[in-house]
A and B are shown apart, each in its own frame.
Chain A
Amino acid sequence: MTWMDLWKLAARNLQQRKLRVSLNLVGIVLGCTLVLMTAAGTAGVETAFQVLFDSSEFAREIEVRPSYGSHRQPPESEIQVSERIPPARRQRLREELTKAWQNENRTEFDYRIQPSQMDDLARIPHVIRVVPDFYLGCTVDTSTWMRAQDDLSETAVVALDVEQSVAERRLVAGRLAATESRQQDLMISELLAYQMGFATDAELQQVLGQPLTIRFRAQSGKMHSLNWLVSEQGVDYDLQTQLAGSIDKLVDNLDATELSEAEQMLIRRFAEAVLPSGGTQDVYQSRSFTICGVLRSEGKDMNLSSMFREFIGATDADLMIHHLAARELLRAQPDNTSLYGVKVVVDSTRNLRAAEESIKQLDLNAHSALWAWDRIEHQIQTVGTVIYALAAAVLLMAAVGISNTLFISVVQRTKEFGILKSVGMKDRDVLRLMLCEGVLLGAAGALLATLLSMLLAVCGRGLLSMYVNYRANTDVQGVFFELGPLSIAATWAFAIAVSTLASALPAWRASRLDPVVAMRQE
């Protein structure tokens, strides 16, 4: 019997038993659709997150913090733990001892990033920007062009990453600080402009191009430590000055008191600590800028990509300067500008891990959204695996069902096989006929499942992107429910394999039937 005639007869047999075939098809289609949608959904979610992650400018940022001494390794003798303790606990104890040693041996430098280290960071491959987390308290002087206003005097300057697209969106008037004119350009907040009396768009235009001088303490004077010590207690500045005078007087006249030599020594040391010798007055510096733009606060204008945002540095302040200008300012004022953090931006999320490693080599701490990404990916994969297992269970049940109905149908078709054999059908052809039916059934199921999945994918994609775009205020079209050719091919292979294998046993049984026995069946 030729293959052509076999396939035709198989198709005819399936056509004849519509109800049973439809029932089998439902099983295959459900199973396959579930698997396909699972594959598409899981891959889609993963791709969507990858796209979001890669396109998020925040995800390319690394928060750099001082080491706090954690880079320093204690000598072995300091963390020696008795050999009698079980290894796991010994390891824990060694770690605790290391931490304790690091705490004790921490220096003042471990709390700071040195301004020179920003250049080291900038030299790391793939690093495109280094933005200092920098906060400079200052007073504002606009007396050349407007009446002085008391409540504006105490404020601060921060560094703004002007290359971040969020910065552009915050512009209310004017432009962002430009790299070429970074030493002059200054951006002010919408609030400060309002407090200065500029509210309407037209008024804001008047602010642009105006000079603004800031005055900041370049070197702390004698009062600094005392101020730091007692201001918390609500001692105001005038009283502090009096207190400083009294302490000075006390130290000068210690000989006249009845205090012992040792007691006098103690008081001298205390006085030196809170009122170090040197100039009594703080040293101030001024810098003049030109207002180039007015920015609103970052506010709630967030999109899904900001889920990868690490909260580095002050973003909202009255005065903002170009991040490169901030770096230069820091370099020029090494003594009194403490740098508690730096934001490093790399060119692509793919280079995050390598850059993080390089930063750690500089004895600094590094954090990025990678840890969140790793967790998300792990979660997606875990959920995916569970759903795949469920889908496989459904297919397995479908396979058992198919095999069951095929078996029953062979029993019911015993007489038919008897007739076929009585007119000369060979065992081999009976077997092949049944397998052909299995393949056709599987292929039909896979075809229907593919079509159904495509339909579902289109609906699902539409709904999901509508939801995501609404919720996340971002456009992630066509990423969800991608039906890959690989998963479609795998589904076809699986469906055909299942229904063929399910047919195999009943097929073999049918092929062994004796024609007289078979034909006697009614």
Chain B
Amino acid sequence: MAPAKMSFPLAPPVSDSLVDIQSLSKCYSTSHTELAAVNELTLTIPRRQRVAIVGRSGSGKTTLLNLLAGLDQPTRGRITVNGHQLDQLTRSQLADYRCRQVGVVFQSYQLMPQLTALENVELPMTLAGTGRRLRRERALAALERVELSQRAAHLPSAMSGGEQQRVAIARAIVHQPALILADEPTGNLDSATAGTVERLLLETENLESTLILVTHDMALAERFGQRLITMQDGRIAADTTR
């Protein structure tokens, strides 16, 4: 049950950095004005770094994260993740990138309502064509990590918000992606539940992944990151590493 072959060649990493962003812009044009949600942003992130991006609402954090996740196309600039230059990938290769290279945790969980927790966690591997047995094994292990083994057979509708977000975390880490992205993962949760989710996210430390957390909560960002990037109007206002 070897994982299915990737449909694009793996370029050898050119540098030690996992993420390399060069002069990245994403513009939204409304009827009169043009708004740059991300504006000429340049950033590199090394492997296995834990990064927190903070900024006020509307500063372009989510936009940047979606671009990194390959969910959205930039207006200008270039993103390279783990050797893959995203703008050069076809739609199909981009889909492969999404299910093999990244794991995303969204603010509003984004689970498939008709699938059980286990099947939701399996989904990235199902889409990649991973064999059933291996898929199940890894998904159960991931659920174990988020302390939800006993709820594997439940549908999302039968779970609390915090539990759903934990399933989403399991789904983001199950295929051991190089890059894990989390966009306000505790934004919809009460403080107690948020604490658990935060703890579980922090425990991804021992995974071989780079973790980028986006939040408007300065306190959470400071607890979380080795590196703290502050965004303002689509640009990096501050970048501190501890």
Tell me the minimal C-beta distance from B91 to chain A in angstroms.
6
- Which single residue of chain B is at the shortest CB-CB distance from A13? B114
Q: Shortest Cβ distance from B238 into chain A, in angstroms?
A: 27
Complex contact A429–B114 (CB within 8 A): no
| B interface bracket (residues with beta carbon within 8 Å of A) | 20 to 34
Q: Do B113 and A16 touch (CB < 8 A)?
A: yes
Per-position 1/0 for A486-514, Cβ under 8 A of B: 00000000000000000000000000001
Q: Closest A-chain residue to B72, C-beta based?
A: A516
Supposing A421-B95, A427-B92 touch, asked if A1 and B69 sit within 8 A by C-beta, the answer is no
Interface of B is mostly: helix
In the complex, number of A-B residue pairs with CB atoms less than 8 Å apart: 70
Beta-carbon contact of A515 and B71 below 8 Å:
yes
Q: Are B115 and A424 in contact (CB under 8 A)?
A: no
Find out whether the CB atom of A423 lies under 8 angstroms from the CB atom of B171: yes
**Complex CA–CA separation, A354 to B212 (angstroms):** 92
Which of the segments B43-51, B119-127, B200-208, B229-237 contacts the partner chain? Answer: B119-127
CB-CB < 8 A to B129: which residues of A? 1-2
B99 & A423 in contact (Cβ 8 Å cutoff): yes
Give Cα A420 to B114, complex, Å: 12
Q: Which of B72, B111, B113, B128 contacts A424, CB < 8 Å?
A: B128
Contact of B22 with A by CB under 8 A = no
Answer yes or no: B66 CB below 8 A from chain A CBs: yes
Taking CB atoms, residues of chain A closer than 8 Å to B124 are: 423-424
Number of A residues near B (Cβ < 8 Å) is 25
Contact A426 B95 (CB under 8 A): yes
Please indicate the chain A residues that have their CB under 8 angstroms from the CB of B113 in the complex. Answer: 16, 416
Q: Do residues A12 and B95 form an inter-chain contact, with CB atoms below 8 A?
A: no
User: Which residues of A sit under 8 angstroms from B128, Cβ to Cβ?
Assistant: 1, 424
A423 neighbours in B (Cβ, 8 Å): 98-99, 104, 123-124, 127, 171
Contact mask for chain A residues 1-31; partner B; CB cutoff 8 A; 1 contact, 0 none: 1100100010011011000000000000000
Q: Is the interface of A mostly helix, strand, loop or mixed?
A: helix
Q: Is the CB of B66 within 8 A of A425?
A: no
Q: Are B126 and A5 in contact (CB under 8 A)?
A: yes
Q: Which of B95, B110, B126 contacts A419 (CB 8 A)?
A: B110
| Nearest-neighbor residue (CB-CB) of A515 within chain B | B71
Q: Report B81-118 residues with CB < 8 Å from chain A CB.
A: 91-92, 95-100, 104, 106, 110-115
Partner of B91, one of A12, A422, A427, A516: A427
- Given A422-B69, A422-B104, A424-B96, A519 and B110 contact (CB-CB distance below 8 Å): yes
Residue on B nearest A419 in the bound complex, by CB: B110
Closest to A14 in B: B114
**Cβ contacts B61-73/A at 8 Å (1 or 0 each):** 0000010010110
A378 at the interface (CB under 8 A from B): no
Q: Name the distance in Å between B3's Cβ and chain A's nearest Cβ.
A: 13
The residue on B at minimum CB distance from A418 is: B110
Residues of B within 8 A of A287 (CB): none
From B69, B96, B112, give the contact of A420 (CB < 8 A).
Answer: B112
A12 touches B114 (CB 8 A): yes
Where the two chains meet, the residues of B that have a C-beta atom closer than 8 Å to any C-beta of A are: 66, 69, 71-72, 91-92, 95-100, 104, 106, 110-115, 123-124, 126-129, 171
9 A-B pairs with CB atoms under 8 Å apart are: A1-B129, A9-B126, A13-B114, A16-B114, A423-B123, A423-B124, A426-B91, A426-B95, A516-B66
- Known contacts A424-B99, A426-B91, A519-B110; 19 further A-B pairs (Cβ under 8 A): A1-B127, A416-B113, A420-B123, A422-B104, A423-B98, A423-B124, A423-B127, A423-B171, A424-B96, A424-B97, A424-B98, A425-B99, A428-B92, A429-B127, A514-B71, A515-B71, A516-B66, A516-B71, A519-B71
